Chain A
Amino acid sequence: MIVAERKPIDEIIEKIKDYNKILLLGCNECVTVCEAGGKKEVGVLASALRMYFLNKGKEILIDEITLERQCDHEYLEEIRDRIDQYDAVLSLACGVGVQFMADKYLSTPVYPGVNTCFLGATEKRGLWTERCQACGQCILASTGGICPISRCAKRVLNGPCGGSTNGKCELSKELDCAWQLIIDRLKAMDRLDDYEKLADIKDWSSDRAGGPRKVVREDVQE
């Protein structure tokens, strides 16, 4: 999923302080799971902002809506008939949702309430870690299902580098060396022979290096 984190409240306040009617828009998907922008977080932030402005002598209208998703026309259309009631939208969706909103409602200012961080997993409640950088040419088949693109600081394809010590990355003692993890996993599967095979040069044109990407599926288009 996409992992995000709520922006510091003072940064949010700075952006919205001149508006009187704000729609605080949550998203029911990834940002709900990482506890950054779901219905609950919308409620808490709305309450906190209302109190902040009241305390400054300003009564501000903050309506709360949480959509199923903000990255699909279908759901984002649900607010079309009320969008004009607001001076601005504060979106707690990831950057995709915020941009889809901006595309769709051309004249309404929209502000991000979260920092979109990475594609990751919930290791445990309150701990999310990066697992994929959407490189567009997945090589997990040859790395024992562990991604050296997102989990190795140097994106080394034939690792580890010389900095790997006792299973940890030279970046920090807290951080597992991705290549150590790959070797351990290949060993566990009795596939260490695969480790001996040199990885081909990776085609990075499908990564960000090739500019903004798209996936086209004419077979499913209407």
Chain B
Amino acid sequence: MRLSYPTSIKIIRVPCTGKVDVIHILRSFEKGADGVYVVGCMEGDCHFNKGNFRARKRVEQAQKLLEDIGIGGERVKMYNLSSSEAPLFVEYAKEMSEKILELGPNPIKEAKKSLRGQNEAVSG
């Protein structure tokens, strides 16, 4: 099944979504990501029992924090699917990509750019 999904999406592989922590999600935004979504196995199917439940909690924590600091909690989302569901993987990728296009770029990226511009103007 050679399906394609939006090229803007970069995949970071982890052994289990239970490995994903709030700080990983926040750092992605600090580094300029426009959105982050975590794709875990179906709930109840985790090889390590609770990994995907933990991931969901952390996604919720990150959403709350991003909301609190004005970046927007909707930029983070948790999805669940099983490894054989490639079409669903593509569907979620498209859904997230559309959501991000609708929200626009990460404001941090823009802020960094304009700060850099100001600094150059000062030193130039």
Asked if A pairs with B, the answer is: yes
Tally chain A residues at the interface, Cβ within 8 Å: 17
User: How far is it, in angstroms, between the C-alpha of A49 and the C-alpha of B69 when the chains are bound?
Assistant: 8
Interface size, B (range): 10 to 19
**Complex: chain A residue closest to B29, CB-CB:** A51
Known A40-B23, A44-B65, A55-B107; judge A50-B114 contact (CB<8 A).
Answer: no
* Alpha-carbon distance A51/B23, docked complex (angstroms): 13
B120 to chain A, nearest CB (A): 14
Q: Mark A106-127, 1 if CB is under 8 A from B, else 0.
A: 0000000000000000000000
- The CB with the most chain A CB atoms within 10 A, among B23, B27, B66, B112, is that of B23
Tell me the minimal C-beta distance from A100 to chain B in angstroms. Answer: 27
User: Count of A-B contacts with CB under 8 A?
Assistant: 46
In the bound complex, CA of A56 to CA of B26 (Å):
17
Interface code A28-50, partner B: CB below 8 Å = 1, 0 otherwise? 00000000000010011001111
A211 at the interface (CB under 8 A from B): no
Given contacts A54-B111, A54-B112, A55-B108, whether A43 and B68 have CB atoms under 8 Å apart is no
The verdict on A52 contacting chain B, using a C-beta distance below 8 Å, is yes
Prevailing SS type, chain B contact patch = helix
Once the chains bind, are B108 and A10 in contact (CB under 8 Å)?
Answer: no
Which residues of the other chain, B, contact A8 by a CB distance below 8 angstroms?
Answer: 68
**A40 neighbours in B (Cβ, 8 Å):** 21, 23
C-alpha spacing A50/B21, complex, angstroms: 18
Out of B69, B70, B114, name the residue touching A57 (CB < 8 Å): B114
Q: How far is the CA of A51 from the CA of B73 in the complex (A)?
A: 13
Q: Which 5 A-B pairs have the closest CB atoms?
A: A52-B69, A47-B26, A54-B111, A43-B23, A9-B68
Q: A: which residues have CB within 8 A of B?
A: 8-10, 40, 43-44, 47-52, 54-57, 59
Interface set of B (CB-CB < 8 Å, partner A): 21-23, 26-27, 29-30, 65-66, 68-71, 107-108, 111-112, 114-115
Kindly list 11 other residue pairs between chains A and B, CB separation below 8 angstroms, not including A9-B69, A54-B111.
Answer: A8-B68, A9-B68, A10-B68, A40-B21, A44-B22, A44-B65, A50-B30, A51-B29, A54-B115, A55-B69, A55-B71
